[in-house]
């Protein structure tokens, strides 16, 4: 990981936005994503006890995907149609897999969800990472493919190879790199993991415009 580039990125970000994420210029973007509200909703809908009702969990999953600005408009109706077409048994398996991802065996839950979503051609990084991120905003990362690929390339991250199909192995490796990067920047940039990767995305775009 290129620490010099990271420090240069931090310097540029505060040149553009002196107040960081409290800067007036960033407020329209922050308000559109409405992360605190969606995070609160996820914490209410996906408690451990709620997983006793698999159909409700699947409905809640659809609800969050439909409301999240971080999921593409193209994918939202596909997720809704997927859940509608699931049998009771499939919803039960989906619910168990999501529970494991959030609370128990993360690797098993992750890989099981990928298999289920792949049946509907929805094994996408954004879909599998959205609920964990909203539930644990300071621990888990929302994986946006383009941003992820650019971060790996721009910051010279070695031995982490992005692939379109989600894998737990990649997520763990990539997460470790981001966790090493976070302490190198000011606290205001890393209190929320989407803000941290958002900061990286913004400065990468700015560096590209400077060329």
- Counting Cα atoms < 13 Å in the Cβ hemisphere of 134 gives 28
Residues 110, 185, single domain; the answer is no
Of 69, 80, 61, 83, nearest in space to 37 by CA? 69
Residues 49, 124, single domain; the answer is yes
Q: What is the rounded CA–CA span in Å between residue 113 and residue 193?
A: 22
Residues 147, 117, single domain; the answer is no
Range of the domain at 176: 3-32+141-210
Residue-wise pLDDT tens digits, 102-142: 999 999 999 999 999 999 999 999 999 999 999 999 999 99
Residues 84, 146, single domain; the answer is no
Mean pLDDT of 146-163: 92
Residues 126, 197, single domain; the answer is no
Residue 175 exposed, middle or buried by CB count within 10 Å (0-12, 13-18, 19+) = middle
Residues 50, 65, single domain; the answer is yes
Predicted confidence (pLDDT) at residue 209 exceeds the cutoff of 70: no
Residues 43, 124, single domain; the answer is yes
Q: pLDDT value at position 116?
A: 95
- pTM of the predicted structure, to 2 decimals: 0.91
Number of folded domains that form the chain: 2
Who contacts 10 (Cβ-Cβ below 8 Å, separation ≥6)?
184, 185, 186, 189, 199, 203
Q: What average pLDDT does the structure give for the chain?
A: 92
Domain boundary among 135, 152, 180: 135
Of 101, 107, 105, 62, nearest in space to 81 by CA? 62
Buried-exposed string 59-84: b where 16+ CB fall within 10 A, e elsewhere: ebbbbbbeebebbeeeebebbbebbe
Predicted confidence (pLDDT) at residue 38 exceeds the cutoff of 90: yes
Residues 102, 156, single domain; the answer is no
Domain boundary among 114, 135, 156: 135
Q: pLDDT value at position 211?
A: 53
Q: pLDDT value at position 210?
A: 59
């Amino acid at each position: 990981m290129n620490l010099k580039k990271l420090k240069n990125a931090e310097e540029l970000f505060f040149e553009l936005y002196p107040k960081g994420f409290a800067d007036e210029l960033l407020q329209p973007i922050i308000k559109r994503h409405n992360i605190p509200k969606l995070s609160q909703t996820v914490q209410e809908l996906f408690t451990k006890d709620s997983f006793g009702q698999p159909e409700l969990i699947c409905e809640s999953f659809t609800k969050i995907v439909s409301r999240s600005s971080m999921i593409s408009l193209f994918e939202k109706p596909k997720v809704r149609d997927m859940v509608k077409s699931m049998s009771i048994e499939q919803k039960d398996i989906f619910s168990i897999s999501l529970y494991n991802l959030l609370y128990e065996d993360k690797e098993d839950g992750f890989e099981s969800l990928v298999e289920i979503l792949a049946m509907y051609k929805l094994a996408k990084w954004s879909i599998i990472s959205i609920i964990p991120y909203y539930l644990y905003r300071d621990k888990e990362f929302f994986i946006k493919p383009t941003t992820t690929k650019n971060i790996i390339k721009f910051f010279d991250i070695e031995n982490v190879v992005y692939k379109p199909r989600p894998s737990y192995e990649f997520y763990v490796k990539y997460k470790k790199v981001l966790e090493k990067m976070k302490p190198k920047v000011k606290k205001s940039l890393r209190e929320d993991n989407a803000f941290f990767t958002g900061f990286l995305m913004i400065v990468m775009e700015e560096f590209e415009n400077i060329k």
